[in-house]
Structure 1
Amino acid sequence: MPNSPSPDAFGPDTEEFLADFHHTTRYGATDNGGIDRQAATVPHGQVRDWFEARAAERGFEVRTDTIGNIFAVKEWNPGAPYVLVGSHLDSQPLGGRFDGTYGVVAALHAASALDRAVRDGHLVPQANIAVVDWFNEEGARFPPSIMGSSVFVGLLELEAALRTVDPDGVTVADALADTGRAGEPVDLPLAGYAEVHIEQGRRLERAGIPIGVVDRSWHTQKLLVRVVGEQSHTGATLMADRRDALVAASHVVVMVEEMVDEFTPETIVTSVGKFDVEPNSPIVVPRRVDLVVDLRAADRGDVTRARSLLLERMERLAERRGVEIEADDFDVRPVQPFPQDAIALGQEAARDEGMGSAVLNTLAGHDSVALNRVTPTVMLFVPSVDGVSHCEREFTSDEDLVSGLRVLTNVAARMVTGALSQTEPGGERPHG
Structure 2
Amino acid sequence: MTARANEFDNLRITLDPARDREFLDSWAELEVIGATPAGGVERQAATVEDGQMRDWFSRWLRERGFTVEVDRIGNLFGLLEFHPGAPYVLVGSHLDSQPRGGRFDGAYGVLAGAVAADRIRRQAADSGVTPRYNIAVVDWFNEEGSRFKPSLMGSAVFTGASDLEDTLNITDQDGVTVREALTVIDSIGERDVFGAGDGTRRLAAYAEIHIEQGRELEKNNFAIGLVDRTWAANKYELNVIGAQGHTGATAIDDRQDALLGAALIVVALRDIADEFGEELHTSCGQLTVLPNSPVVVPREVHMHLDLRSDNDQLLAAADAALRKRIAEAEIRAKVEVEHRKAHVWPGHHYQPQGVELARAVADDLGLTSMLVRTRAGHDSTNMKEVVPSVMLFVPSVEGISHSEAEYTSDEDMCTGVDLLTETLARMLDGALDSAITERA
TM-score (norm 2): 0.94
Residues 66-81 of structure 1: matches in 2 within 5 Å? 66-81=72-87
| 1:35-82 CA distance string (max 9 Å, x none) | 000000001000110100010000111111111111110000111000
**Which of 14, 23, 28 is the aligned partner of 2:34?**
28
**Which of 238, 246, 252 is the aligned partner of 1:225?**
238
Residues 135-214 of structure 1: matches in 2 within 5 Å? 135-184=141-190, 185-187=192-194, 188-214=201-227
| 1:344 and 2:356 matched | yes
Cα distance in 2, alignment partners of residues 91 and 355 from structure 1? 29
Distance 1:163 1:11, change over 3 A: farther
Cα distance in 2, alignment partners of residues 223 and 76 from structure 1? 44
Corresponding position of 1:319: 331
How far does residue 8 in structure 1 lie from its aligned partner after superposition? 4.1
Corresponding position of 1:3: 3
Corresponding position of 2:287: 275
- Partner SS, residue 434 of structure 2: coil
The count of corresponding residues between Structure 1 and Structure 2 is 427
Distance 1:8 1:324, change over 3 A: closer
Cα distance in 2, alignment partners of residues 41 and 2 from structure 1? 46
Distance 1:349 1:42, change over 3 A: same
- Partner SS, residue 266 of structure 1: helix
Distance 1:240 1:178, change over 3 A: same
Residues 11-410 of structure 1: matches in 2 within 5 Å? 13-121=19-127, 123-184=129-190, 185-187=192-194, 188-263=201-276, 265-410=277-422
How far does residue 9 in structure 1 lie from its aligned partner after superposition? 7.3
How far does residue 238 in structure 1 lie from its aligned partner after superposition? 2.3
Cα distance in 2, alignment partners of residues 131 and 223 from structure 1? 32
Structure 2 alignment gaps of length 5 or more: 195-200
- Partner SS, residue 358 of structure 2: helix
Contact 1:2–1:417 (CA under 8 A) maintained in structure 2: no
Distance 1:175 1:426, change over 3 A: farther
Contact 1:339–1:426 (CA under 8 A) maintained in structure 2: no
Contact 2:3–2:360 (CA under 8 A) maintained in structure 1: no
- Partner SS, residue 120 of structure 1: helix
Percent identical pairs in the alignment equals: 48
Letter in 1 for 2:292: N
Cα distance in 2, alignment partners of residues 319 and 153 from structure 1? 42
Contact 2:82–2:130 (CA under 8 A) maintained in structure 1: no
Cα distance in 2, alignment partners of residues 253 and 384 from structure 1? 28
How far does residue 10 in structure 1 lie from its aligned partner after superposition? 8.7
Q: What is the root-mean-square deviation of aligned Cα atoms in Å? A: 1.7
- Partner SS, residue 274 of structure 1: strand
Letter in 2 for 1:152: F
Corresponding position of 1:411: 423
Letter in 2 for 1:216: R
Distance 1:223 1:417, change over 3 A: same
Distance 1:90 1:10, change over 3 A: farther
Cα distance in 1, alignment partners of residues 224 and 437 from structure 2? 22
How far does residue 22 in structure 1 lie from its aligned partner after superposition? 2.0
Contact 1:162–1:173 (CA under 8 A) maintained in structure 2: yes
- Partner SS, residue 85 of structure 2: coil
Cα distance in 2, alignment partners of residues 15 and 425 from structure 1? 39
Cα distance in 2, alignment partners of residues 208 and 426 from structure 1? 35
Contact 1:200–1:388 (CA under 8 A) maintained in structure 2: yes
Mean Cα deviation higher: 12-21 or 168-177: 12-21
Structure 1 alignment gaps of length 5 or more: none
Cα distance in 1, alignment partners of residues 432 and 60 from structure 2? 29
Contact 2:243–2:258 (CA under 8 A) maintained in structure 1: yes
Contact 1:10–1:116 (CA under 8 A) maintained in structure 2: no
| 1:345-382 CA distance string (max 9 Å, x none) | 11111112110101111101101111101111000001
Contact 1:377–1:425 (CA under 8 A) maintained in structure 2: no
How far does residue 241 in structure 1 lie from its aligned partner after superposition? 2.1
Contact 1:336–1:426 (CA under 8 A) maintained in structure 2: no
